[in-house]
Amino acid sequence: QVLLVETGGGLVQAGGSLRLSCAASGITFSLYQMGWFRQAPGKEREFVAAITSTGGSTYNSDSVKGRFTIYRDNAKNTVYLRMNSLKAEDTADYYCAARIGNLRVGVNGYPYWGQGTQVTVSS
């Protein structure tokens, strides 16, 4: 059974920082591309960032470039999302996702998902 568990969400003031973690089990983690997505109230789920299986390449959405960093520790089967300079518009449920193969940015490209962790940015 594949299990992805996100932690680290919470309430933070605008301009602050937060680090999300996603611990994976049930997969050979080092073979999987990992992604972060978010879904704000009343909005579609959207891509945030992705990282290749070895961590050699990353891709961030335009809305978070320069503010968010995705990285991974394959020895710990964990992928992280460091969020800096948070804005109220970053408020959303954040989801970790996993896939094998090419780096993808679409929701449909990821067969495995965590349950999400809530991030609320106050202004």
The closest alpha carbon to 14, from 117, 92, 91, 69, belongs to 91
The single-letter code of the amino acid at 88 is: A
Contact by Cβ (8 Å): 67, 49? no
What pLDDT score was predicted for residue 45?
96
pLDDT digit string (tens) for 40-93?
999 999 999 999 999 999 999 999 999 999 999 999 999 999 999 999 999 999
The DSSP call for residue 101 is S
CB 97, CB 37: distance < 8 Å: yes
- pLDDT, tens digit (0-9, with 9 covering 90-100), for 20-52: 999 999 999 999 999 999 999 999 999 999 999
With cut-offs at 50, 70 and 90, classify the pLDDT of residue 101.
confident
